[in-house]
Amino acid sequence: MKRGIAALLVLSSVGLAQPICATTKTILVLGDSLSQGFGLAPSEAYPMLLAKKLRAAGLNFRVINASAAGGSTEGGLERLPAHLKRKIDIFILELGINDAFRGVPVDQIQNNLQEIIDKVKTRNPQMRVVIAGMQLPNYTTDDYVYAFGKMFADLAARNGAALVPYLLQSVAGDPSLNLSDGIHPNAAGQKVLAETVWYVLEPVAREVASREKLESH
């Protein structure tokens, strides 16, 4: 008898949960080691920290971190189809720096990023895009450094996307916020990245959430 009651309670709670799950929005993060949280636990990477901020703000979003260490724009294109099977409401794109380290022409990097955005938008026309910009250290030619940094703003303008001007703002070059390699943020650095992205993401998430409320009335 007790087992029967327990089973009914479980079924009831599942039934009650369904309407809540149905309204949950999805944020997909496609990035490289910076978004993956290289050398850290998955929960310490900024995408998962954003998930906590969203919950605390009363915004019903789940965050899927599809980032991979060493990720390039070509690699992003290859990995993308597996993530297009689900509806995406906000797409955070953080790729390109590894291409630049390999000397890939900026035009090619930009074309790949645009193709990624196009593919996601084709499946999710109402989706909002957030582009996480990066900058290069000044050890390459000035023209390349300038073109690479400008590329992210150009992409954001072309696609009506929200822009994080520089993901590593206040983190790059600070030994206390990076792992011993001096490149990847440590747990404290990832918290700063989360704040940097949250500043741009929060109004976008609120807009997406309010749009659903309007559509449901």
Of 67, 89, 99, 184, which one is the catalytic site residue? Answer: 184
- Say how far residue 211 (Cα) sits from the centre of its chain: 20
Distance between CA atoms of 174 and 47, rounded to whole angstroms? 21
Catalytic site includes residue 43: no
Answering whether pTM is above 0.95, one says: no
Catalytic site includes residue 13: no
Of 32, 33, 35, 67, which one is the catalytic site residue? Answer: 33
Q: List C-alpha distances in Å: 22 to 19, 40, 104, 205, 214.
A: 5, 32, 42, 17, 16
Q: How many residues does the chain have?
A: 217
Beta-sheet strand order (sheet of 25-31): 61-65, 25-31, 90-94, 128-132, 162-164
Q: List C-alpha distances in Å: 97 to 29, 35, 43, 126.
A: 16, 12, 23, 28
- Per-residue pLDDT 10s for the chain (217 aa) are 444 433 333 333 333 333 344 489 999 999 999 999 999 999 999 999 999 999 999 999 999 999 999 999 999 999 999 999 999 999 999 999 999 999 999 999 999 999 999 999 999 999 999 999 999 876 556 889 999 999 999 999 999 999 999 999 999 999 999 999 999 999 999 999 999 999 999 999 999 999 866 555 4
Q: How far apart are the first and last CA of the chain?
A: 43
The 10s digit of each residue's pLDDT in 93-145 is 999 999 999 999 999 999 999 999 999 999 999 999 999 999 987 655 688 99
Catalytic site includes residue 154: no
If you search the block for the tokens 């030994």, which residue do you land on?
175
Of 142, 181, 216, 217, which one is the catalytic site residue? Answer: 181
